Chains A and B, each alone.
Chain A
Amino acid sequence: MDGPNVAWYIAIAAVLFGIGALGVLIRRNTLVVLLSLELMLNAGNLALIALSRHFHNGAGQIFALTVMAIAASEVCVGLGLVVALNRRNLSLDVDTLSELRG
């Protein structure tokens, strides 16, 4: 079927990636940072799938599935960190975790 050609999908992926990056850099709540990270990963996935369709190469979809699995594991570990922080009554504000201050 006809529809938007691949370039449109790529554009959407790029914008989504930008939004996700902005979220990682701006937000102070750790959880929202992780959510923005998910946005970025998804943008990558979208690009992969689109190009896989265009070039008729299955590897793109495989890679996208792998990325999804990795994202899930990363979220698991990240949320474990958040829970551990919370259990020690540490703030979840990224700015307060500043022991690397020079």
Chain B
Amino acid sequence: MTGGAWLCLLAPLVGTILILLGGSWLPRKFAAWTATASVFVAFGGAIWAFFGVRSAPPTPAGGLLPLQVPAPVPAHGELTTAWTWLQAGHFTVPLQLLVDPLSTMMMLIVSGVGGLIVLYSIGYMDKDDEERRYFAYIAFFVFSMLLLVEGGNLLMLLVGWGLVGLSSYLLIGFWHERSSAVAAAKKAFVMNAFGDATMALAFFILIAHTNSLSFNALSAPLSSTQANLIALGLLGGAVAKSAQIPLQTWLPDAMEGPTPVSALIHAATMVTAGVYLIARTHVIFQEARTIELIAAGLGALTLVVAGLIALVQTDIKRVIAYSTMSQIGYMFLGVGVGGYANGMFHLMTHAFFKALLFMTAGLAIHALANEQDIRKMRGLGKVMPFTKWCFLAGALALVGVPPFAGFFSKDPIIASTLNIGWYGYIFYACGIVGAFLTGLYTFRLWFLVFPGEPSPFVREHYHDHNGREGAWTMLVPVGILAVLATVGGWIQFPPLWEPITKWLAPVAPTLSVAEVSSTQEYVTSAVAVLVGLAGVALAWAIYSERKVAIPTAPFWRRLLEHKFYFDEAYNKIFYGPAVSLANGLRREFEDPIVLQTGPDLGETTLATGSLVRRIQTGLLRTYVLFLAMGAAGVVLAFLIAK
């Protein structure tokens, strides 16, 4: 199984290197197919690793595996080491991968959904000027994400974390002639860097007290302050990477990147890295239970806020982006209360339907010559039926209507909040409200775009691709994901059958407070579905039948349209002072002092030169005088030496 892990990790890297070395001699299609093939090979490696972990015998001892791995392989995973990367005294960090249930699950999701998306991009990025660069970047991204999830110790995870941030920056700013794209890329990177910093601080504390960065070090005895600080640092990183409040403002702007990038990075994989992190390091979060509950609280807050903002968005990708933010809020809620399997399961189904939604939106955008404003897109369903039905599948999965995937994964999360205390009820309420909002904004989108007569804009600008709605490379992945969005949830239906929870139990067991009775499960599911359908109905009433008018409420509308003024607040708090500081430094220090040194040096040299020039009198007598003085000096020196 470790071979599978290495294959999975290195195949996309090899793809990237091949494309980079090929440069402009490489035919475009060749680059595209190389990237796609490398990710599918990675998927093969992931399957291999999965079967390896599945068939390994169970270990007598529970808990995480020991640092030194002797010959008999412990069950729920294996650490495979390439070489010792870093060594400073007793502190060593080997270059190692961890193959265990949690990492194989993530590997499958990343390489599987990733492979489909890379295949889709072949059609989407066709005829783009810089296709090869795109495929090099995206293969590199898949490699980085796999490194993140396969990392065998915290430092490898951090390396993957950082590289993922880098790939995200490169891909968001892919169309670098657009200043908005470049600005969005920088914003994403800077906010992620904040999270990286808090994670690094957490690691410093860990190293200081345990002299190690292995996953086991998290189980070492730590004082409660230290555990809280470490968990807080890790949470900071997770919040930044997963775009939760308060570090969420970069995600909507990241829609400047190409749609497949949004699908892969900002829906299925990178933004879910925070959830993975919490699940992976849950030991320390359980030590710092308050921090874990803060994570759940942030998730609950984000899911409501994002749902509200999605109600007023007019860009099709931004609606889906806020939806992503909201659903990751659900995942945070799930892992925050202790139901790690619930969070991971929702991660999986979300990858399916969110990627599907982005990709179908991409089909629409591509067919309408890059138009993204939904107000112009009415009646698209008539000319693009395949897109319409796939989008519907994704939308129903998102709202959580049975038998689609979201139903199976979202409701257990909401239910798991019931037993943890008084704040659990608040989380529960948030989850239910979130379900209502999800139904509302998703079907607002659907009703605005697909049903009805095609608008004049659509009639004018729609162009198909040789009679079909898109290239086959775009339609096939969409179709596959539509199927997965429909049936992908059937793998787990708590409390009836729970293979995923059992699969993850050795590494991320669900906390007992997060366990709920069957009654609570069923009731929650029913309520959530009803509430979701109520949202759908309201959307139908407002946007399709026009029976109910959109409420005006100007204050709320302004608030939502400005996304709760987060951007403005951050501008005032961080950007403004930083800019004035920089300007002040430049005015006071750099211009007068640093930049002046050049001219000053020049002037000093000139002045010295003109001083010295006065010796050159041109008079023979002065030169002879200097001779005489020099001779006297030399003789004096000799006399003194004697």
Chain A: residues with CB nearer than 8 A to chain B?
Answer: 21, 24-26, 28, 94-95, 97-102
Check A25 against B616 for contact (C-beta < 8 Å): no
- The answer to whether A102 and B613 have CB atoms under 8 Å apart is yes
Which residues of B sit under 8 angstroms from A21, Cβ to Cβ?
628
A95→B619 CA distance, assembly (Å): 5
Report the minimal beta-carbon distance from A92 to chain B, rounded to whole angstroms: 12
Main SS of the interface on chain B? helix
18 pairs, A vs B, C-beta closer than 8 Å: A24-B624, A25-B621, A25-B625, A25-B628, A94-B619, A94-B621, A95-B619, A95-B621, A98-B618, A98-B620, A100-B616, A100-B618, A100-B623, A101-B618, A102-B613, A102-B615, A102-B617, A102-B618
Measured between C-beta atoms, what is the minimum distance from B609 to chain A in Å?
10
Contacts of A102 in B (CB 8 A): 613, 615-618
Q: List residues of chain B with CB under 8 Å of any chain A CB.
A: 613, 615-621, 623-625, 628
Q: Find chain B residues with CB under 8 A from A28 CB.
A: 621
- Whole-angstrom CA separation of A97 from B628 in the bound complex: 20
Take A99-B618, A102-B618 as given contacts and tell me if A25 and B613 are in contact as well, using a CB distance cutoff of 8 Å. Answer: no
Query: What's the nearest-Cβ distance from chain B to residue A5, in Å?
Result: 23
**Which residues of the other chain, A, contact B619 by a CB distance below 8 angstroms?**
94-95, 98
Whether A25 and B618, one on each chain, are in contact in the complex, defined by CB atoms closer than 8 angstroms, is no
- Interfacial chain B residues near A94, Cβ < 8 Å: 619-621
Shortest distance between the CB of A49 and any CB in chain B (Å): 22
Q: How far is the CA of A98 from the CA of B621 in the complex (A)?
A: 10
CA distance A95 to B623 in the complex (A): 11
Give the residues in chain B near A24, CB-CB below 8 Å.
624, 628
Min CB distance B629 to A, Å, is: 10
Nearest chain A residue, comparing its CB with the CB of B612 = A102
Interface centre among B613, B615, B619, B624 (most CB of A within 10 A): B619
Interface residue from A25, A100, A101 paired with B624 (Cβ < 8 Å): A25
Assess whether B616 is in contact with A101, with CB atoms less than 8 Å apart.
yes
CB distance from B628 to the nearest CB of A (A): 6
Residue pair A98, B628 in contact (C-beta under 8 Å)? no
* Minimum distance in angstroms from B153 CB to a CB of chain A: 71
A24 and B621 alpha carbons, distance in the complex (Å): 8
Q: How far is the CB of B627 from chain A (nearest CB, A)?
A: 9
Question: What separation, in Å, do the CA atoms of A98 and B628 have in the docked complex?
Answer: 19
Known: A24-B628, A100-B616, A100-B618. 11 other contacts (CB 8 A): A24-B624, A25-B628, A94-B619, A95-B620, A97-B620, A98-B618, A98-B620, A101-B617, A101-B618, A102-B617, A102-B618
CB distance from B537 to the nearest CB of A (A): 98
